[in-house]
C-alpha cells in the first residue's frame, strides 16, 4: 500500500519557509501529497523506500507555493478606462471623485448590474489571476454602498469561491466611500453598516473580515472605530486601507484593533510601523495603485524591514487605481517601484499574504501539513518571477493536491 497519493520528483523547490535563506531552496527535491495536504517536502535522496500511487517528474522545473492575492476589488460593474484617460490629461483622483466620478461611477454601474453580470465579469478576472499562479484570492465589496448591493457583491464573491478551484476569502468594505444619498449625513450610513449590514452579513456568513478606507474624503478614525467594534461583536477580523494619500494615523488605528493587515501605507509614519509590529498587523503593499496614481512617495520599506513587519503584496485589482490582474506583475512592480528584493516579493505573494488573510498556519509555504497549493514554473531561478514583464511562465497549478485546468 503506497504511503502517498502523489509524488512530484526532479524538482527545484523554493519552500519560502520563514527564516530560511535563499528562498528555502531544495535543489534536487521532491514533494509528496496525501489528499489535500503536503505530506513530505525534502531532498530526493531522503525519500528512501517510500512510494506513491502516482509519481510525476517535473523535469527539473522550479516549484513554489501557489500565489495568494490578499487584496482585490475583483467584483465590480463597468470599467474606468475613460477616467484613466482623463487622469493622463491632468485631472487628479480626488477632483474626479469630488465631481461624482471615480468610485461613485463604479457604484452606479455595480448597482445596476445583475448578480450574473457581476459574476461573469469577475470570473474572467479570477481566471486571469489563476493563469499566473494564484490559488487563493481575497475579494472585497465596496461598490454597492447600500444594504442590498453590498450583500449582492458578497454573494457574487462567495459564488465565485463555490464554483472555482480557487479559495476565495471575502471582505465587507461598505466603508469604502460615502454614498451620494448620505453625502449630508455620513454618520447615518455608518450606523446602517453597524446595526443592519454587519449583522446580516454575519447571519448569512457572507464575509470573513471587515475593511474600511481611512482617508480625509472617506471615513475618519471615529467612524471606523464604530465599524470595527461592530465587526468585533461578530468575531469578524478587520483590515484597513491606511495612509494611502495622507498620514491619517491609519496604521496606528489598524494596530489598535489588532487588524490582520493595514494596506497601502505610502504615508505611514515610523510610529505607525512600530504599532503594527507590536500588534502583529501585516503590511499589504499595492504597487499597482502607486503606479496608476503616479504616486512618488513609496511606503516606509526600511522601517517595515527594521521592525520585522511582514510585507505582503497584492494586485488591489480595481477599476479606478489598479486595473491589474496579475500578482506576478505586482511583484515585478514592487521590485522596480518599492525596491523590494525578488525574494521579498515572492514571500510577499505567498507566506506573508497568507498571514494578511489569517491563513498562515494553513498555506503560503511548502512544509508538511500545509495545503497542497503548488505552482510549477518554466524558469531557471525564482528571481525571474519578479524580473520578466509580460511573460506567462506558469507550467502547472495544483490546488489542494489536484491539477487545475487553466484553459
- Which of 15, 223, 244, 261 is in the footprint of ligand DI6 by CB under 6 A? 244
Closest approach of ligand DI6 to the CB of residue 292, in Å: 8
Long-range contacts, stretch 113-120, CB < 8 angstroms, 24+ apart: 113/77, 113/78, 115/152, 115/155, 115/156, 115/159, 117/77, 118/75, 118/76, 118/77, 118/152, 118/153, 118/156, 119/156, 119/159, 119/160
Decide: 232 and 260 in contact? Cβ < 8 Å: no
For ligand DI6, what does the binding mask look like between residues 288 and 307, x meaning CB under 6 A? -x------------------
Strands (E) across 176-270 are located at 209-214, 237-242, 261-264
d(CA 377, CA 374): 10
Measured CA to CA, the distance from residue 370 to residue 366 in angstroms comes to 7
Residues 346-405 that bind ligand DI6 (CB under 6 A): none
Residue nearest to Fe ion (CB): 316
170 is a contact residue toward ligand DI6 (CB under 6 A) = no
| 201-220 positions binding ligand DI6, by CB under 6 A | 213
Near ligand DI6 by CB under 6 A, which window of 12-20, 99-107, 225-233, 254-262?
99-107
Burial 52-72 (b: 16+ CB within 10 A, else e): beeeeebeebbbbbbbbbbbb
**Using the rule CB under 6 A, is 321 a contact of ligand DI6?**
yes
Stretch that binds ligand DI6, among 31-39, 45-53, 100-108, 378-386 (CB under 6 A): 100-108
User: Which of the listed partners (Fe ion, ligand DI6, none) does 83 bind, with a CB threshold of 5 to 8 Å by partner kind?
Assistant: none
Name the segment binding ligand DI6 (CB under 6 A); options: 98-106, 109-117, 160-168, 381-389.
Answer: 98-106
CB of 243 to ligand DI6, least distance (A): 11
The reply to whether 102 sits near ligand DI6 by the rule CB under 6 A is yes
Q: Is the dihedral of CA 250, 255, 257, 261 positive or negative?
A: positive
**Using the rule CB under 6 A, which residue among 241, 328, 363, 370 binds ligand DI6?**
241
Report the alpha-carbon angle 259-350-120, nearest 5: 85
Verify binding: residue 248, ligand DI6, rule CB under 6 A.
Answer: no
Smallest gap, in angstroms, from Cβ of residue 21 to ligand DI6? 35
Q: How many residues bind ligand DI6 (CB under 6 A)?
A: 12
Of Fe ion, ligand DI6, none, which one sits near residue 179, judging by CB under 5 to 8 A according to partner kind? none
Residue 244 interacting partner from Fe ion, ligand DI6, none (CB closer than 5 to 8 Å by kind): ligand DI6
Mention every residue, 6+ apart, whose C-beta is less than 8 A from residue 90.
none
96 binds ligand DI6 (CB under 6 A): no
Task: Please report how the helices 115-130 and 147-162 are oriented relative to each other, as an axis angle in degrees rounded to 10.
Answer: 40
Strand 282-285: give its sheet, edge to edge: 67-72, 134-140, 167-175, 209-214, 237-242, 261-264, 282-285, 311-313
Which residue's CB is nearer to Fe ion, number 150 or number 316? 316
Least separation in angstroms between residue 378's CB and Fe ion is 31
Binding site for Fe ion (CB under 5 A): 316
Binding mask 55-94 for ligand DI6 (x = CB under 6 A): ----------------------------------------
Greatest extent of the chain over all pairs of C-alpha atoms, in Å: 72
Which DSSP letter does residue 270 get? Answer: H
Closest approach, Cβ 86 to ligand DI6, in A, equals: 13
Q: State which residue, 79 or 378, has the beta carbon closest to ligand DI6.
A: 79
103: contact with ligand DI6 by CB under 6 A: yes
The partner in contact with residue 213, picked from Fe ion, ligand DI6, none with C-beta cut-offs of 5 to 8 angstroms by kind, is ligand DI6
Q: What 3-state DSSP class applies to 55?
A: strand
Using an 8 Å Cβ cutoff, are 154 and 207 in contact?
Answer: yes
DSSP string, 290-311: HHHTT------HHHHHHTT--E
Report whether 30 contacts 9 (CB < 8 A): yes
User: 3-class DSSP state for residue 317?
Assistant: coil
Q: From ligand DI6, Fe ion, none, which one binds at residue 320 (CB under 5 to 8 Å depending on kind)?
A: ligand DI6
Distance of closest approach, residue 117 Cβ to ligand DI6, in angstroms: 18
- Please state, as a whole number, how many other Cβ atoms lie within 10 Å of the Cβ of residue 75: 32
Query: Which partner in Fe ion, ligand DI6, none is near 250 (CB below 5 to 8 A by kind)?
Result: none
Please report, as ranges, the residues that interact with ligand DI6 according to CB under 6 A.
Answer: 102-103, 106, 176, 213, 241, 244, 289, 318-321
Amino acid at each position: 500500500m503506497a504511503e502517498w497519493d502523489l509524488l512530484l520528483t526532479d524538482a527545484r523547490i523554493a519552500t519560502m519557509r520563514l527564516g530560511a535563506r535563499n528562498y528555502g531552496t531544495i535543489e534536487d527535491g521532491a514533494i509528496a501529497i496525501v489528499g489535500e495536504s503536503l505530506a513530505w517536502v525534502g531532498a530526493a535522496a531522503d525519500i528512501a523506500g517510500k512510494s506513491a500511487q502516482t509519481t510525476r517528474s517535473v523535469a527539473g522545473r522550479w516549484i513554489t507555493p501557489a500565489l495568494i492575492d490578499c487584496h482585490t476589488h475583483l467584483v465590480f460593474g463597468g470599467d474606468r478606462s475613460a477616467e484613466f484617460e482623463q487622469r493622463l490629461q491632468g485631472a487628479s483622483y480626488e477632483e474626479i471623485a469630488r465631481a461624482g466620478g471615480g468610485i461613485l461611477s463604479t457604484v452606479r454601474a455595480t448597482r445596476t448590474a445583475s448578480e450574473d453580470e457581476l459574476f461573469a465579469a469577475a470570473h474572467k478576472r479570477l481566471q486571469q489571476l489563476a493563469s499566473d499562479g494564484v490559488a487563493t484570492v481575497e475579494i472585497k465589496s465596496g461598490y454597492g454602498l447600500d444594504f442590498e448591493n453590498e450583500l449582492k457583491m458578497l454573494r457574487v464573491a462567495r459564488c465565485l469561491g463555490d464554483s472555482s478551484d480557487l479559495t476565495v476569502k471575502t471582505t465587507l468594505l461598505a466603508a469604502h466611500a460615502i454614498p451620494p444619498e448620505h453625502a449630508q449625513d455620513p454618520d447615518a450610513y455608518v450606523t446602517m453598516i453597524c446595526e443592519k449590514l454587519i449583522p446580516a452579513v454575519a447571519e448569512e456568513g457572507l464575509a470573513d473580515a471587515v475593511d474600511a478606507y481611512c482617508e480625509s474624503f472617506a471615513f475618519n478614525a471615529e467612524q471606523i472605530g464604530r465599524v470595527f467594534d461592530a465587526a468585533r461583536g461578530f468575531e469578524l477580523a478587520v483590515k484597513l486601507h491606511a495612509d494611502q494619500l495622507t498620514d491619517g494615523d491609519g496604521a496606528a488605528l489598524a494596530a489598535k484593533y489588532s487588524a490582520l493587515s493595514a494596506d497601502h501605507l505610502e504615508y505611514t509614519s515610523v510610529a505607525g510601523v512600530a504599532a503594527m509590529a507590536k500588534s502583529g498587523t501585516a503590511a499589504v503593499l499595492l504597487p499597482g495603485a502607486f503606479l496608476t496614481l503616479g504616486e512618488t512617495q513609496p511606503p516606509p520599506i526600511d522601517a517595515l524591514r527594521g521592525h520585522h513587519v511582514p510585507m505582503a503584496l497584492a494586485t488591489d485589482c480595481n477599476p479606478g487605481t489598479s486595473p491589474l490582474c496579475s500578482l506576478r506583475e505586482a511583484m515585478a512592480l514592487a521590485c522596480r517601484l518599492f525596491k523590494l528584493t525578488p525574494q521579498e516579493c515572492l514571500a510577499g505573494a505567498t507566506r506573508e499574504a497568507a498571514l494578511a488573510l489569517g491563513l498562515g498556519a494553513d498555506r503560503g509555504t511548502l512544509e508538511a501539513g500545509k495545503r497542497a497549493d503548488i505552482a510549477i514554473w518554466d524558469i531557471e531561478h525564482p528571481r525571474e518571477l519578479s524580473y520578466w514583464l509580460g511573460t506567462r511562465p506558469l507550467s502547472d497549478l495544483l490546488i489542494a493536491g489536484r491539477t487545475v485546468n487553466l484553459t
